[in-house]
Amino acid sequence: MKAVLQGFFRVFLFLLFFESFLHIGGGVFLLMQSLTDNSGEIASVRTVKNECVILVMGDSLTSGGGINSYPRILERILNEKGTGVHFVVINRGAPGRSTLNLVSDVGPFIEKYNPDIVVTLMGMVDVNVANNEANSAYQKLKVFFAENVKIFRFAKRLLDPLRPDLQLRTAAEMKKLNLWADDEDRRLFKEQQVKGGNAADVLDYDSLPETTVGSVLKVKDAGKAERTLEALLHPPPFTVDGFNDFVEVVKRHGKRLVIAQYPQISLAPLERIIKLKKDIVFVENVDNFRDAIRVNGMAAYFGDLVTPVFGHGSPAGNRLIAESLAQAILPLVVRSRNP
Amino acid sequence: MLFNSTQFIAFFVIVYICYLLVSHQWQNRLLIIASCIFYASWNWKFLFLMFVSISTDFFCSQHIYRSEDRAVRRNFLVLSVAVNLAILGFFKYCNFFLGNLNALLEVFGLEGAFQTLSIILPLGISFYTFEAISYTVDVYRGVSVPAKKYGDYLFFVIYFPHLIAGPIMRAKDFLPQVTTPRVVTRDLFFEGLFLAFWGFFEKMFIADNLAKVVNPVFAGPTYDGAMVLLAVYAFAFQIFCDFDGYSNIARGLGKCMGFNISINFNLPYFATNPTEFWKRWHMTLSSWLRDYLYIPLGGNRRSTLITFRNLMITMLLGGLWHGASWTFVIWGAYHGLLLSIHKAVKDFCPGIKLFERAGWREVWFLVRLGVFFHLTCLGWLFFRARSFDQVRAMLEAVLFHFHGNGLYPWAYVLLILAPLLIVQVAQYRTGNLLFLYRQHWVVRTFAYSLMAYLILGWGIMRAEEFIYFQF
């Protein structure tokens, strides 16, 4: 009996040590990163084809719009610039993904698509998660546990290679399948071809109706909209961890990171919560939207209102986001191609 | 199957469970089959090549043992050694030989006379042919009795932990363990597990992460002095951890099954002179070279000049054994030179009297350690480089283009090496290679947890492109 108890205690101690190493290791990693000089060019492996692959991750704001989602528009804008570089933008936004969801997705996606740049626009979903959890003391404890005990997330990440939807492909397979296609993708591609869309629309998971200038936008749930806005301006610990973990994963893979902010929301909260800001490009969407809305009104740019100041984008709204992203991305790429 | 792959772990778990359940006879059969599967997972066709070597040696050694006639015994010895060297020579050195022949003929204006063949280098060939030669020669010398059954000798060669790059075992050490039933005690099991764990740690955390520093630097084409220096230091430990790690895994797995596999490395970088170094580095190879090459040549029994000749020949061939390239030969020659100089000089340098006093002895030891470590590192530069041009370019960089990329690369390497160095210093001072295993259980739990974290978090978990060096 004593031996069994001793055994259990040893295992517990092992896990305790392991947990502290996870915390310390994160800090060490940040320290090492701050010593490197990573501000240089993007090292692309595709020098022969002169291609630049951009992986866009986010929630329904990213995925929505079909042919007019902002990643699709971004691709068109970038390729129309005539830089000589062929841009491929992969839209892996999906509705309902919180920052922590995206943290566990981004590693496998990077390995799957091997992008040069990772773009993300996330955070608004977190309020749903945090809200559900933080009501009772028990739930507060659960949240605390989930946010601070790293070992579970670590174990989950270790098991990522077993996820069937994120199976890695060899370089040859990726090339043969034109860089992005698993069965789901191929099915969507065929669907789009039948519908008459272009190949770039393949990966969209959502499609919003277009809105017309002049219609009135209503907030469905005023309280939730306010809470969402509040959560974006003062991110809860859940979101802080999500962003920092996301940054860590992307940096570990050596990819450049572009973090965009929701329309009409200041960058200040993001700049405050992210510890390792070095070499991250932040993209704000305040001035562009404010000026445009002054002329054409909110309904021209949003299909609904998730917060009092923005919602899912209309084609025009998504175009504004795409343009600000293009402006931030072009200097990163063009500079490295023309030394 | 690489040791650090999920297939191998699954394979080993299954084999081991079966091993514990069956009788001695069936254990041997099980392990033979498992080893065949292990080797076949790389390329089943070359299994036959190994059987050719094994069968020849078994057959020859039986005749050597039974015959009284000196000529007959010598003939079978020559046959066995010739077959093994022919196999090794063809598969490993054929293209090297043809390449050099072409280069030589080009001097005389005959271009491209011989075309190099596309020959696959069979896994483990350098190891099993050497083991085979040692077996036959030992039987000839009467040092060991040949295996009675073909299965026993087959087991000796093919046993999977040491088949690919494992310690080169001697028949008299290993065969008795094959033929007598083995006992797996709890202590033995946990010791073996520890050794294997430590081996995995060395390979997956230290060696693989050091490779991320070394490979970009040695890829060139331009070199920065400080980075070259760092890469050579890093490579010195990378190759050690790779090799020692593998040997530890082999020893650990063997121990779990009740086998005692020879130690291959005994804290080699604590050596302060070449002779000591070769008693600590790749011990099974250096003792093989000593017993089957150096001593037959005459060893140090004859004149000093002959001793130097023997040293140089042994080390040249030892270098060549590592790979079919002149850089390996030069590495061997370099060590031969170091050994010769040491032999010549050591009797004339009894040690400076000043450093005999207590406090100074440690300092003097560290000085000699540092100097010799750097001499070894220069050797590693030759060993790792692709060509002499590269060696020249890199040395030039160290001497004349020493800028540096800041502290980060050095901090990175130091952080990776820190756990290893701490443990090794402790091992050296206590004289116990199982030092970590003998500590208090809290210390051990801490250490195992740290090793697991480092392997999982910084080894397996895709810490690719962690370094972003700019040259």
Query: Domain coordinates of chain B in residue numbers?
Result: 6-182, 188-460
Closest Cβ opposite residue A254 in set B415, B456, B465: B465
CATH class of the domain at A48-337: alpha beta
pLDDT, one tens digit per residue, over B271-318 is 999 999 999 999 999 999 999 999 998 888 888 889 899 999 999 999
Q: How far apart are CA B363 and CA B418, in angstroms?
A: 21
**pLDDT tens, position by position, A132-151:** 445 567 766 776 776 667 78
Segment (H or E) for A52: strand A51-58
Q: Contact A154/B449, CB-based, under 8 Å?
A: no
Question: Position B349: which residue type?
Answer: C
Q: What is the DSSP letter of A189?
A: H
Q: Does B407 touch chain A (CB under 8 A)?
A: yes
Residue B322 is among the residues annotated as catalytic for this protein: yes
Q: Of residues B24, B63, B282, B322, which has the active-site annotation? A: B322
CB pairs under 8 A between A and B: 64
For chain A, report the end-to-end CA distance as a whole number of angstroms.
70
The ipTM estimated for the assembled molecules is 0.80
> What's the average model confidence in pLDDT over A280-292?
92
Give the closest-approach CA distance of B191 to chain A in angstroms: 17
B6 touches chain A (CB under 8 A): no
- Of residues A13, A17, A35, nearest to B450 (C-beta): A17
pLDDT in tens, A220-245: 677 888 888 888 998 888 788 889 98
Q: For the purposes of burial, counting CB atoms within 10 Å of the CB of B170, is it exposed (0-12), middle (13-18) or buried (19 or more)?
A: buried
Q: What angle do CA A147, A149, A151 make, to 5 degrees?
A: 125
Pairwise CB contact (< 8 Å): A253 & B465: yes
| pLDDT, tens only, A37-93 | 444 334 333 444 578 889 999 988 888 766 778 988 898 888 888 888 888 888 888
CB atoms A10 and B445 under 8 Å: yes
Mean of pLDDT values over B413-425: 93
Q: Nearest CA to CA, how far is A155 from chain B (Å)?
A: 10
Alpha-carbon distance B265 to B377, whole Å? 17
Tell me, what DSSP letter sits at residue A310?
B
- Mean local confidence (pLDDT), A188-216: 41
Phi, psi at A53, each rounded to 5°: -100, 130
The per-residue DSSP string of B197-236 comes to HHHHIIIIIIIHHHHHHHHHHHH-SS--HHHHHHHHHHHH
**Per-residue pLDDT tens over the stretch B205-224:** 999 889 888 888 888 787 88
Q: Does A279 touch chain B if contact means CB atoms closer than 8 Å?
A: no
**A21/B453 CB distance under 8 A:** yes
**Residue (of B48, B51, B39, B43) closest to B11 by Cα position:** B39
What is the layout of strands, in order, in the sheet containing A117-121? A86-91, A51-58, A117-121, A256-260, A280-283
B111 touches A: beta carbon within 8 Å: no
Q: Which of B442, B456, B466 sits opposite A158 (nearest CB)?
A: B456
Cα torsion through A322, A328, A331, A337, rounded to 10:
-60
DSSP H helical ranges for A69-200: 70-80, 99-113, 126-133, 137-148, 150-158, 171-176, 183-195
pLDDT tens digits along B99-147:
888 888 888 777 766 777 777 788 888 899 999 999 999 999 988 898 8
Q: What's the average model confidence in pLDDT over B71-90? A: 91
Which residue in the set A22, A32, A107 is minimally distant from B462, CB to CB? A107
